[in-house]
Amino acid sequence: MKYKKQYLYSKFERFWHWSQMLLVLLLTLTGFEIHGNLSIFGFETAVRLHNASAWSFMGLALLSIFWMLTSKQYVNFIPTKNKLKEQVQYYTSGIFKGMPHPTHKTLFNKLNPLQRITYAGLLILIFPVQIITGVAYLYYHYPANPIDAEGLRMAVAAHTMGAFLVVAFVIVHMYMTTTGYSVSANVKAMISGYEKEPQHEDEANKKTELQ
């Protein structure tokens, strides 16, 4: 089988991805330690690391928004119904039968329909809720306690629920990285920036005819 190779992930995009992964890992570990579920760093160190990671995550988020707008890469995160049914069928059965992937990646079409919906949910719902509730919890301890205690309990519950959803996403995301043309293909692409995909006979023939 022939393969086509294209440059999809810029240096900033790869920096954003791996930095975000590290920050999410730190936020998850320290967050659960603050809740008393883990014991790794010690409570006080966990709190400091969690706060520092949270501010770093928000700074990275602002930087990534600016990058997406200026590079027009935001189009990759806009949900679409195009080939949504085919994508569901591929993940539920086609992938186990060796069927070709229904969508092909390009610079402005890096995510398939299901990925677009998932990432849109993270960017529009889960991450903002985590940031808002996290900041609310952080500043409740300052003088005058501007946030009502009842509202704080709701914020903590929402923050914890969001944390579990993020963990669920990370688990699914780690599995999805293994569904490329090889188990390590997607991870290698996010390191080098180059994506390599199988080029099926019909595509190869079409390309030959055009030449």
- Check whether 148 has a pLDDT greater than 50: yes
Does this model's pTM top 0.75? My answer is yes
Kindly state the average pLDDT of the residues 137-163: 72
112 in Cβ contact with 83 (< 8 Å): yes
Q: Is 97 left (phi over 0), alpha (psi -120 to 50) or beta?
A: alpha
pLDDT in tens, 163-175: 999 999 999 999 9
- Check whether 200 has a pLDDT greater than 60: no
Mean pLDDT score across all residues of the chain: 86
Choice between 118 and 208, residue whose per-residue pLDDT is larger: 118
C-alpha to C-alpha distances, 59 to 19, 155, 182, nearest whole angstrom: 11, 22, 34
- Check whether 51 has a pLDDT greater than 90: yes
Q: What pLDDT score was predicted for residue 207?
A: 44
Q: What pLDDT score was predicted for residue 211?
A: 41
